[in-house]
Every structure is written in C-alpha cells, then in structure tokens.
Structure 1
Amino acid sequence: MTDQQRAKPLRALVYGDVDLNIIDGSAIWAQSMTQGLAAAGCEVTLLLKAPVTTDRLVAPLDGAPGVTLRRPYEEKLLSDLGPRGLTPDQAVTLMTRLDAEERFDLVVVRGRRLASIAAQFEALAGRLWTYLTDVPQNVAEMTSTAVSELTDIAVASRFLLCQTEELRCFLESAVPAACGKSVLFPPVVVVPEGVSGPGAPSERLRLVYTGKFAPRWNTLEMTELPAALDKRGVAAELHMIGDKIHRDSPEWAKRMAKALEGTPDVRWHGGKPRAEALRLSAECDIGLSWRAPEMDASLELSTKVLELGALGLPVVLNRTPMHEDLLGPDYPLFADGDVDAVADTLTLAADPGIYGEAAERCRAAAARFTLEKAAERLRGYLDLAHPTAPAGTDPQRPLKVVIAGHDLKFFTRLADHLMSLPGLEVRLDEWDGLRDHDQYRSRELAAWADVVICEWCGPNALFYSQHKRPGQRLVVRLHRFELYAEWPRKLDIDKVDAIICVSPHYASLTRELASWPADKVVTLPNWVDDRQLDRPKLPGAEFTLGMIGIAPSRKRLDRGLEVLAELRRRDPRYTLAVKSKQPWDYWWIWNRPEEREYYERVYRTVQRDPLLAGGVVFDPFGPDVATWLRRVGFMLSTSDDESFHLAPAECAASGGVPAVLSWPGADTIYSRRWLHDDTAAMADAIHGIVSEDRFDAARLAAKAEITGNYALERVCSLWTDLIVDGTVPEPVDLQGAIAA
C-alpha cells in the first residue's frame, strides 16, 4: 500500500526503556526502529528516556523527515524526573498523555517491565507493538509469574515483535496468547555510505570489539588475545569501542577498566557516535563476538555481528544453531572455548583465502538485515493492522455488521480483519451456548445491523432470520456439525441471503439435504494464516509425519499408524508427531463404548508393535501450531470424512507436503497429486518423495497451491466483498494449481 492510498500517514509513538547516550544494541534499536517506521511512511514520535548528554545517536534523528523527538527533561514534561532517566511508570504516564493530545495509530515499546505497565492501560490496548528481548529464554526461567505477565502483554498488544525465529517459537510454546500475534522484527543494520573493510587481512592483524563491557561478553578475556597471538607468531592489536562497563561486580569492573587502559596492543577508543564507531571498525580486519558458553542458548541475534558483516569484516563468534543458520555450519571462524582456542581461530583468519570466504559469508548474511528490508517488513505489518476502507464503503458512515454465534473460534481471524476495516463497524453477539444468549442485546443488534453474519447454522441463525429487517442482509455459515441437525430444516431460507459452506462437496450435500435453492448456497473456503505459518523447517523434517486432532475415531489414527509402520520398514528415521487432545478429554466421545474400545485397541498397537516402538510422539493440544509444524514434513489426513480438513493445508503453507486419503470431497479442496487411494499408496508416495530427493520440489508446489487458494488475505478479501456488496466468490481453481 502506498502512502497516497491512506487518507493521512499513520502516526507512531516509539519508546524504549533505553538510554540513547550509551551505544549498545538496545539504543541502536530505538534509532533504527524510528528510522524504519519513518521509511515505511509513518509520522514517528520518539520519546527519549534520559536527558541528552551526547547526541551520538540522537543527531541523525533530530530534524529527519517524519520524525519528532520529545525530550522529557529538556521540555520539563514531568516535575519529579530523577537523574537516571524515566522510570517505566513515568514513561507510560507520558505515553498516555501524548496519546491523549494527538492519538497515535501504533505505540511501539521495548522493555518487559515497561510493556507490563502499558498493558494495564485500556487506552493503549490493541495498539501496542511490543518488542520483546528481556524475557525468559529457557523453560526453567519461564515461571508461572512470567507466563502471566507475558500473557497480559500479549493480550494488550497488536503485535509482539520478536528478534529471531527461535525467540518467537519459544514464546509461543510457553505463552498461548502470543500465538498469532508474534511476528519477526530482526536487528536492523545501517552503515555509512562508502565505509567498508580492508578486504584482506593486514600484516598486523587488527581486531575490533564494539559494545558494552561485561563478564559474559568475554570482554576481559579479549584483552589477552594480542599476547596469545604474539606467541603464535601473529602480530595483532585490539581496538575496543564503548564506554559502558557493567559494575555488578566492582572487582571485575576495576579489572576491566585497568585492562582497557593498560594492556599492551589494546587501544580503547571510549564511546563514539555510531557512524564514527562503524568507521573505526571498518579500519580493522576482524570483528569479535566471542561470548561465554552460557550465552550460546540466547534467543537474540547480535546487531554488532551484522554491522561488522555489512562493513565486510569477518567475525569470530561462538558456534550455535542460530549462528550456523546465519552463516552456514562450515563457516570457518567459529570459536568455542578459552583464549587459546580463539587465538588458534584468529591464526587461521590471517590466511587470505579463509579470511575472504569468512568475510563474504558475513557480508551476505548482513544483506538480509538492511533498513530497506526492515521498512518493507514494517509496511507489511502496518497494512495488516491498518488496512484501507473497502471500495463501496464510507468510513464516515460505516456499514454496520454483526457477527453472532456460540463459538467463534473458527471465525476469529476473519472477525479481526473485518473489525480493522475503516468502512465497517463490527459488533459481536457472543452466545453463551447454542441456545443461551442475551435476547435483549440480540434484538438490539438485529435492529441496528445492515449485515448479520451467523457463525454456525443453529438457533442463532433461526433467531436472526426471525428478526430480519427489510433491506438487511443475513449470511449464515454452515459447518458439518449442524448439517445433520434439525436447525437447517427449521430455517426460513427466504430470509437468508447466502449460506456459506467451506467446500464444494459440503455445498452440494447442503443443497441436497436441505432442499435449498442452489444459488443461495455459496462456497467460501477456510483460511490458512500463511504469513504466520511460513517459517524455516528444522533439519530432518522430511522424516516427520504429522497429525492434528485424532478424536473422534473417524479421524482414523489407526490408518496413520499403518502409514508410519510401512515407512519404518524402509527407514527407521520416520516418526509420527500427533498434536491433539486425547479422546478422554471429550466427555461425549469417551462416554461412547465403541469410541473407547477403538482407542484402547489403537493405543495397544502403539505400545506393542515393534515397528512403532519409539516412533510415535504425542504433543499437547494448543495454538502453537506454527511452531510445531517446523519439525513436520508431511501432514496425514486419514479420516473417513472431512468438511475441509485444514491441517494438510496449514502444513503446506508451512513448507510441508499434504498426504490425503481420498475421503469424499477431498478432490475439491486439494489437487489430486496429494491424494492417495489407501495407506500403502500414501506410504509409497511419501517415501518416493524423500528417497528420490524430491521433498523441496514437492513442498514448493504444495505451498504455491495452498497459498494461491486459501491464503488468509485472499479469504478475508472474499468475505469483505460478500459483506459489502454481495459478490459471490469464484470457485477454487485446482486444475490451475496443477498446471502451475
């Protein structure tokens, strides 16, 4: 979306609980977030935490187009300001005050304590874009208190901005409320024009470190490197840039300061403006980001590594899965261990061939984190959160829409989209049960609405059809559950403008069983949140089969086990991951003797069949499907029947492959290349794809088909057109998908 398409630029308020007088990653974040939002077309107000004592980071923003700086100390915005900058409470007070003066469309915050306080303010709810870094990064630290606090933050936020995929997945696994809201915002790298590294190692190797000085960052140990290299016959000097020495341990801080000031071949430049720090770094040969082993599990990515790479400098850093993903597992300058181990690696780096390869790897990695790419990413999130009004609507006189139903979980993302549209005013009528609701509120909404959407064709549809006004439109979405119940037969179809079914097969069944006019029954498919699901697969995903939801018995877990057993006969690396509630979690299933007998028989097979031993993993039910799917290569659909079955489509959107038995109507949702006549044919197809090295080609084809037909943005657009002017969607083109 271009800026011209909006009535006016979006207004963003940015505040990080960081001091911009000190050069570190968090301060650089505040600068780059402000620049990124401005480049994305926003009018940005940056609220500063502390009085400006050095303009090293502030100067590039002061007077920049689209950027306004608010200086609480200089402007005397509060009377009780302390010497160490705004407290989180003071910051939130000022944020709400500034927002009351001129409302912001989004409020970007960094700092867990700050976000926790902001989340309690109803006035900011839904507009917070919370950047998460200082959160627990392992299961032991993710206490119930932390989960509760992060849940409050997630509920109040429009987006949770995560620096890495690893952080996003960990957060979603621990905090269900974060699912669907967590998006990536990696570090941003901006280097001065024309500044670049030497391209080859100097005769006297120049090492550089920029940032804070702290024990876990190994900055004291770094000062020993020139001497260690000298013992290996390599002349070297170390340049250290920064002025923030951690003082948690006064004794360590004293030793660090002494090492900076008095170690031979160590030159301490002190704190420098960011541009000057980068220019000094570019005059060196090799960057250092070697840290203590306990930092290897960090879910954050060092901005310094990317900045040095953008300058063309190779970087010595720890070998971690994140760094291997960034630079490749065979990157030559991984260094783990003590000073001697790092000195050995640096000795290798003095070789021009190794130096050149490492420098190119770092440069290529950094190219993925430019300000331009950050602005592009932010534009996508802005369009998602603030779409323009649909054609045919007037934001000054919005179309009034009611969404009514007892269970809206299948409609949530559609409702979120409709509520975000400027030309629509949407109200929810959430029934307590199939028949339980506030009749006075429902009558009031029926009299108010221009369009009513009934999710489920149940008593809600009967109520709104009985209270339909002339000129009002009524749309009812029917699921498999109610097709065989009494409500469709009681519904006055003349009062309904459209019955929505999610697949052509169930649309046909609906016409047949309900005897409704064919043109009243419309197929509008389920949506797949392709943006959230699009994540890199974990190594070995092609050997993991998946099933989501195995209850009731017609989901046919037994057939999934047949596929797994056949595959494990050929290769024991195949496993089956099952994400589901258990059948005993559903009283209406477990109370039926035939259901209980089925699961007892199937679980005995899992326990006793030697082919299945160690090959089946049961994972808990939960909304963290996108995270879970990273390890799944093939999604099995072995049911007796389905109305749509979203799981194979979600797997395809995540970069996996659907494997679907030919249940009735499957060929109207998935192209025939993913359909199989029986479990043996399914196993043959899966093993053929893996053993013949066709997995990447198959998953690319599947992803193109599913996102082309069922992407959330496309389905939201179809619903919007139907609501605004009654446009009936065209049928899904599966033959076109095959041709593509």
Structure 2
Amino acid sequence: MTLRALVYGDVDLNLVDGAAVWAQSMTRALAAAGCEVTLVLKAPVTTDRMLEPFLETPGVTLRRPYEEQLLADVGPRGLTPEQAVTLLTRLDADSAFDLVVVRGRRLSVLAAHESQLEGRLWTYLADIPQRVTDLVSTAVSELTDIAVASRFLLCPTGHMRDFLESNVPAACGKSVLFPPVTAVPAGVAAPGAPGRPLRLVYAGRFAPRWNTLELTELPEALSERSIPAELHVIGDRMQRESPDWDRRVTKALQETPGVTWHGGQSRAAALRLASDCHVGLAWRSPELAAGLELPVTVPEFGALGLPVVLNHTPMHEELLGADYPLFAGDDTESVVDALTLATDPRVYTWAAQRCAQAAEAFTLERAAERLRGYLGLAFPPAPVGTSAQRPLKVAIAGHDFTFFAGIIEHLSALPGVEVRLDEWESLHSHDQYRSRELASWADVVICEWCGPNALFYARYKRRGQRLLVRLHRFELYAEWPRKLDIEQVDAIICASPRYAELTRERAEWPASKVVVVPNWVDVDQLDRPKLAGASHTLGMLGITPSRKRVDRALDVLEELRRHDQRYTLAIKSKQPWEHWWVWNRPEERAYYERTYRRIQRSQTLTDSVVFDPFGPDTAVWLRRVGFVLSTSDDESFHRAPAEGAASGGVPVVLSWPGAEAIYAPHWLHDTPAEMAAAIHAIVSEGRFDSARRVAQEEIRASYDLRRVRSLWTELIVNATVPEGGAPEQTGTATR
C-alpha cells in the first residue's frame, strides 16, 4: 500500500529562503521514500522558480488554493494559519491522508487542536523559542499540545531536539531528526582552489541578524590586505526591519564596488552560481548563530566542494570539528582573518574536504532513507495471521505502562490488530465495568504487572481467549502470584532468564508457562553524539530503593579520583523521600541519610557528585555520560546499563545474580574496585571509543526496540515464544 502524505508549511514559495527550501526538500524526500505527496501552496504563484523540481518529481501533486479557488475571502499575502488548517482538514476529509506534515508555530498549534488530525501530524519545528529564557509558560503549553497531537516532531538539528526534550517532557520519544537537505545538480562543482579575485558567495535572506550589511563590506576589507575579492549575493527575501535599514541594505547590494546582487534564483540556478565561487559565507550575528538551526547553505556549499566561513558555535564544531580553520568570531575582522586563511591552498583544501564530508549526511537520499525509517515505525506491516476484515482484538491492562509504552505504540499501529487500554488508577483501583467489558471483548488480554489486574482477568477469562501476564521483580515477592489461577494463564512473561527460573520455583508454575521476552531499548532514540568530558563521567539512572546501592557507586568514584580528579558521578533519579514506600521504612531512611552524609563530608565526593531531576529526557542526559553503572544487590534486568550502551557509552555492571545472562562478560565485575580499574583502563589506554562501539552493537543486536517488538508481535498474534517452548494453551484466540 502506498502511503499518502499531505504537506503544508506557512511558507511563501515565491521567495527563496530556508523555509521555501524546506518545503521543496520535504516534499521530494517523502516522494523518494515512496509516498504519494500533496503539497498545498500558501500564496498565489508569481514565479515558478521554487516549483520547478516538482514538475519532474513523480508522485507529487500541487494544490494551489488561489488558482483553484479552494477557499473564499483569502487575502493577497497568502493563507492565514486558520485558513490553512481549515483547508487541510477539508482536503483530508476528502482523501484520508496517512500523514499530515506541517511547519509554522501558529499553524501547528491550530492543527494540534484539530481532533481530525490528531496522531497523524508530523510537525516540523523551527520557529520556536530557542532559549530557556524565552520558554514562558504559554510557549511550553503550546509545544506540549503540539507534541501530544503529533506522531513525530521533526527537528532540524540534534541541538534543537535536545533543547525541546529538556524543556517539554511530552516531546521525549517523539522527537526525531530531519536535517536540511542538499540537492546539488549533477555535474556542478566548485573550482577546487582559491583564486584571484577571491569570489565569495552568500545565499539567503537579508536581515540585520543575518549580517547582510556587514557582508557587503568584505571586498573592501580584503582589498586592504591586498586580497582582491568579489561578493556574489543570491536572494530577494528582504526581512522588513525599518525603512532606513531597507534602504541602506538595498543601496549596499546595488552600489558597493565588488558586490554583485543576482536577485532571486531557482535553487538549481543558485547552486550553479555558487559553484563558480571560491568560499561560501554563513556568518551571522552572535544571537542568531547561537540558535538551534543549521543554515541550509552550509551543507549545500559543502556538497559543491566550497569551504564555508561561519560562526564558531558548539553545533558548528560538532559538524565540522573543533580544528576547522574557517570559524569566525563576532566581528567582521574575524571573518576577514578566516578569508585570509582561505587563500592558503593547503588550508583551503583541508576546509573544503571537511565541509564536503559533513555534507554527505544531508543528501536527498539520506533524507529519504531517514523518512523510510520513520514511516516504518508509524506504519508497520500487518503481521502474518491477521486480517483487516476481522482484526485481532487486544486489551492491555495495568496501573503503569512506563515499561510497556513502546510495545503498546507498536501494537496500536499494526494493521489487523485493534488495541484498547484498561488503565487502572492504581494497583487495586479500576473501573470494573470497563474491565468487564474488555474481558468480554478481547481475543488476547495482556496484563502489564502480575498484580490485581492479572487476578481480575484470570477470573473473567472466557473460552477461546488468551491471557498473557508480564511479571516484574516487584510482584514476584508479593502475594499476587500465589493467588493467580495459573490454569487460566497462557504465558507468564519475564524479562530475564534468572527471573523466569525464580518465578517457576517460587510460584511452582509449569515451566512451559514461563517465558522470556527481554526489556526493550530504543537505540535509535538514544544514539546521540557524546559531549566533551563524557569519558570521565559516570552515571546512575535511579538510586531507589537502597538495593540499588549507590554507596558502591561512590566507592567506584573515590577509587577513580585517586587516579584522575576529572572523574565525576551524575545521578538522575527521584530522591528517596519522593517514594513514600521507601521513606516510610526506617532502614531505608537510615541508609540514605548515611550515604548523603558521606557525600557532604568527603572532600573527594562533595564536588564530584551531581544530582539531576528524574524525567523522561534520558537521551539528552546520557549525552554527557560515558559509563553507566549498575551496582545493585539484585535486578531482574536493569535496563539502565543497556540504555547507556545504546547511547554510545560503556556499561559497567557488578555481577549481581543473573547479570551474566543479560550482559556480556567483559562488562561484568566482582567488586567496585574492579569496576573502577576497568573504567580507568579503558580511558587511560585510549579504548573508550572502541569499547562503546562494541557495547552499542551488542545492545542493538539483543535488545533493540524493533527486535523486541517483533518478539511481542509473534507472541500475541501467533503464540510463538522466543524461549521456553510454546505455552500451554487453554484455548485458541478467535477473531
């Protein structure tokens, strides 16, 4: 089945700027990914220079609201966000699109409030607050609404994604990357060496923060250093600031010696003009450069083979390397210094190669590949054994779906499977009428947690229905397994072999009923570049209850700091007093009081332990962590070290019982001293990068979300289990 995408951006395609390039790139990338794409234009067409690529792109349909008279009372400057959402919902009602891609903050807020589009929005985020000080409560509320209604939040850079997830919890898990896309015409390439005169090129909008006036001063400034130079300017997007500024910049572009203004051009024509130059310019004001977007011209110039002069920011350094020679500071003089360096053929070649290498990640082919991955997540194929005419009815019951959310999302997207949730208010509190209704409706019931929910559904299980119960460590030592009628259960699912064996022994259940499906780790979401200093940062995710043994992590840190004072420990966790069931126990309270007192009184620890608040932004937090510790007395699985490995870090695991069945032996250690020795050896011997690559590959092979989803799908649809043999059947699911 070919997926159908509806695309609209609050973008005037008559003007050439980054937003117009986005609309062009998004549409072409979706088409290349296999979608039929309908692009709705915002404004009446006055020039077709940005529309040319669509005429030669199969599978793309343009809708022109003005020319087709799709709406009444539209103004000459284009559709308002309200009009656009009205039109999008109308077109969707007529054609039932699979996904609706939108860009523009006001437009996105309105679309998020349209129930018809909920869950199918793919929202591209660019014009949002990009500083914490600008994230007022209204902005956070709007972004939360957008995140809740969207299937994906498309972010232009990893820095934008990190910023969003750090400040809008609802964005975590939904934020994915869609970087700028390059589309260099075949056979077009830059000269490959600096020339005389040195030809500079700028393409983009004209505005004070884009340093338009300052750029026109460069030919004269270079001539004062005996470097003849020309500036070629491409574009016609004037950001109206004030009449005086508009006049000054227009005069500078038209009359400054050495400056040639080529006006607005098609994207292909602009790239051909740029390819005849020597150096690209993407230098902006400090405020704009510190933003979270990457100018599309940076990878475009790089793809042509042009070196680029741009601001020295963490994002640009991450893209081009800390040693990139053509970074500029905040003043024009620093730009002239960089351009002077570029006249050296060796520096020029080095910088051009670095930019070309970086541009390889921004091609149309890479964008289409990225989108195919997202489409595969949002629209998985129908499992063998299901029917769209008679879907398999699956009810999922529990009081906390934190550890099962990724599976629920996948099951809900499967064709031929209908999912309904029975969300209990607490372990014991639920809507009995709702639960009874689902017990009568479902072909398959999944109880997340082996608690009162499992007892309830076992009691009301009907003939021909299958009941699956996922058991965690928490329930194994409680009363509910002993009360559960195991004859009514088709499979008990544990996360690790050891806990499967303990479950069989303690509950005295048939061995074939207890099977293992491991916990999942979303490697794709967690895999992000590490920050500087990560190799000397230890991390713990969750330190309650006391059996997590944070005191052992402090032992590891103290040992490491005897070798190197740069080692620190970051702890992301709720505090023990935030869990009433922990803080009300005297022995637990005494343990934490003793441990925290130790941190306060130790000269080694007091400045090297950092506590971070609990929250869903784990992927962002893990960017600064190189080693994730597991120092527990006991665990059923302990996903934290696996998440650390998925993020590009190294798991360091104390050999608690059963750990050997989950983690490879080279990550297991018998004492905190051995853990410290292993960490320091990896760092001091320069093996950090190689060790973390190995760890990530191991986790991807065993626990990646895609693999675990497939295991659950087979278990639910076809009663196929990965370990322990087929569960005893009390009936065959009907649908």
The one of 93, 103, 107 aligned to 1:100: 93
- Structure 1 CA distance, aligned partners of 2:688 and 2:357? 26
Measure how far apart 1:499 and its partner are.
0.5
- Structure 1 CA distance, aligned partners of 2:35 and 2:92? 15
Please give the secondary structure, in 1, of the residue aligned with 2:699.
helix
The one of 259, 262, 265 aligned to 2:258: 265
- Structure 2 CA distance, aligned partners of 1:474 and 1:594? 38
- Structure 2 CA distance, aligned partners of 1:338 and 1:402? 62
Please give the secondary structure, in 2, of the residue aligned with 1:74.
helix
Q: Which residue of the partner structure matches residue 735 of structure 1?
A: none
1:302 counterpart = 2:295: yes
The one of 680, 683, 696 aligned to 2:689: 696
The one of 133, 136, 143 aligned to 1:143: 136
Please give the secondary structure, in 1, of the residue aligned with 2:47.
coil
Q: Is the 8 Å Cα contact of residues 56 and 274 (structure 1) preserved in structure 2?
A: yes
For residue 649 of structure 2, what is the amino acid of its counterpart? G
Measure how far apart 1:63 and its partner are.
5.7
Q: Which residue of the partner structure matches residue 346 of structure 2?
A: 353
The one of 404, 417, 421 aligned to 1:424: 417
The one of 174, 177, 181 aligned to 1:184: 177
Per-residue CA deviation, residues 8-66 of structure 1 (Å, 9 max, x unaligned), is: 20000000101000000000000010000000000000000000000000122136310
Measure how far apart 1:341 and its partner are.
2.5
Q: Which residue of the partner structure matches residue 731 of structure 2?
A: none
Please give the secondary structure, in 1, of the residue aligned with 2:191.
coil
Per-residue CA deviation, residues 515-550 of structure 1 (Å, 9 max, x unaligned), is: 100010011111011110111111221100001111
Q: Which residue of the partner structure matches residue 442 of structure 1?
A: 435
For residue 547 of structure 1, what is the amino acid of its counterpart? M
- Deviating above 6 A after TM superposition, structure 1's stretches of 4 or more consecutive aligned residues are none
Per-residue CA deviation, residues 630-666 of structure 1 (Å, 9 max, x unaligned), is: 1111111111111111100100111111111111111
Q: Which residue of the partner structure matches residue 198 of structure 1?
A: 191
Please give the secondary structure, in 2, of the residue aligned with 1:46.
strand
Measure how far apart 1:249 and its partner are.
2.1
Q: Is the 8 Å Cα contact of residues 327 and 361 (structure 1) preserved in structure 2?
A: yes
Measure how far apart 1:171 and its partner are.
0.6
For residue 352 of structure 1, what is the amino acid of its counterpart? P
Q: Which residue of the partner structure matches residue 12 of structure 2?
A: 19
- Structure 2 CA distance, aligned partners of 1:412 and 1:342? 50
Q: Which residue of the partner structure matches residue 373 of structure 1?
A: 366
The one of 501, 507, 521 aligned to 2:500: 507
The one of 40, 48, 55 aligned to 2:48: 55
Q: Which residue of the partner structure matches residue 481 of structure 1?
A: 474
The one of 269, 275, 278 aligned to 1:276: 269
Per-residue CA deviation, residues 145-183 of structure 1 (Å, 9 max, x unaligned), is: 111110000000000011111110111000000000000
Question: Would you say how many aligned residue pairs link Structure 1 and Structure 2?
Answer: 725
User: Which range is displaced more, 77-86 or 330-339?
Assistant: 330-339
For residue 299 of structure 1, what is the amino acid of its counterpart? L
The correspondence of residues 327-338 of structure 1 with structure 2, limited to 5 A, is 327-338=320-331
Give the TM-score normalised by structure 2: 0.97
For residue 377 of structure 1, what is the amino acid of its counterpart? R
Per-residue CA deviation, residues 308-327 of structure 1 (Å, 9 max, x unaligned), is: 11111111111111111211
Measure how far apart 1:562 and its partner are.
0.7
Sequence identity percentage: 71
The one of 42, 48, 64 aligned to 2:35: 42
Residue ranges of structure 1 left out of the alignment (5+ in a row): 1-7, 733-740
Q: Is the 8 Å Cα contact of residues 46 and 68 (structure 1) preserved in structure 2?
A: yes
For residue 445 of structure 1, what is the amino acid of its counterpart? L
Per-residue CA deviation, residues 99-140 of structure 1 (Å, 9 max, x unaligned), is: 000101100011111111100011111100011011111111
- Structure 1 CA distance, aligned partners of 2:143 and 2:299? 29
The one of 169, 182, 190 aligned to 2:162: 169
User: Which range is displaced more, 34-43 or 330-339?
Assistant: 330-339
Q: Which residue of the partner structure matches residue 395 of structure 2?
A: 402
Measure how far apart 1:230 and its partner are.
1.1
The one of 362, 377, 384 aligned to 1:384: 377
- Structure 2 CA distance, aligned partners of 1:631 and 1:338? 31
The correspondence of residues 612-627 of structure 1 with structure 2, limited to 5 A, is 612-627=605-620
Please give the secondary structure, in 2, of the residue aligned with 1:698.
helix
Q: Which residue of the partner structure matches residue 517 of structure 1?
A: 510
For residue 593 of structure 2, what is the amino acid of its counterpart? E
The correspondence of residues 491-640 of structure 1 with structure 2, limited to 5 A, is 491-640=484-633
For residue 504 of structure 2, what is the amino acid of its counterpart? R
1:655 counterpart = 2:655: no
- Structure 2 CA distance, aligned partners of 1:672 and 1:339? 56
Q: Is the 8 Å Cα contact of residues 512 and 724 (structure 2) preserved in structure 1?
A: no
Please give the secondary structure, in 2, of the residue aligned with 1:576.
strand
The one of 229, 236, 239 aligned to 1:243: 236
For the structure 1 residues 731 and 320, does the alpha-carbon distance in structure 2 shift closer, same or farther, using more than 3 Å as the test?
farther
The one of 669, 672, 679 aligned to 1:679: 672
Q: Per chain length, whose mean CA-contact separation is higher, i.e. which structure has more relative contact order (CA < 8 Å, sep 6+)?
A: 2
- Structure 1 CA distance, aligned partners of 2:235 and 2:724? 61
Q: Is the 8 Å Cα contact of residues 515 and 724 (structure 2) preserved in structure 1?
A: no
Give the TM-score normalised by structure 1: 0.97
User: Which range is displaced more, 665-674 or 212-221?
Assistant: 665-674
Q: Is the 8 Å Cα contact of residues 650 and 692 (structure 2) preserved in structure 1?
A: yes
Q: Which residue of the partner structure matches residue 212 of structure 2?
A: 219
- Structure 2 CA distance, aligned partners of 1:503 and 1:242? 60
Q: Is the 8 Å Cα contact of residues 62 and 69 (structure 1) preserved in structure 2?
A: no
- Structure 1 CA distance, aligned partners of 2:227 and 2:283? 19
